[in-house]
């Protein structure tokens, strides 16, 4: 077993030194408080990760509808030349026979 580069013999030596320094009554209390601190850190990191994921999903959902809407609509400028040409032909006051007479004569 190798945790953080510390093998089993090194861990045993650390535990013996801790037992000698803190004593048998204080060691379980220190272990408990250390465990609670590690647990609190893990909970905080999980909450941060969940909050980050929620915000990323919310931003992603907010950006999707405008992109889809812009693909579905056709720009009005694409239709204007055809309607302008049709409008000019409809507004012409010459009859076909007058237009032919102007070209011939």
pLDDT surpassing 60 at residue 85? no
Domain residues of the chain, as ranges?
1-66
pTM for the predicted model, two decimal places: 0.43
pLDDT in tens, 19-53: 888 888 888 898 899 899 999 999 999 999 999 99
- DSSP characters for the chain? --BTTB-HHHHHHHHHHHHHHH-TTHHHHHHHHHHHHHHHHHHHHHHHHHHHHHHHHHHHHHHHHHHHHHHHSPPGGGTHHHHHHHHHHHH----HHHHHHHHH-
């Amino acid at each position: 077993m190798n945790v953080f580069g510390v093998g089993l013999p090194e861990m045993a030596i650390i535990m013996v030194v801790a037992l000698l320094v803190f004593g048998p009554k204080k060691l379980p209390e220190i272990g408990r408080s250390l465990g609670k601190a590690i647990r609190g850190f893990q909970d905080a990191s999980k909450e941060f990760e969940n909050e980050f994921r929620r915000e990323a999903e919310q931003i992603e959902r907010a950006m999707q509808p405008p992109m889809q809407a812009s693909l579905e609509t056709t720009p009005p400028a694409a239709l204007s030349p055809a309607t302008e040409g049709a409008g000019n032909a409809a507004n012409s006051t010459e009859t076909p026979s007058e237009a032919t007479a102007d070209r011939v004569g």
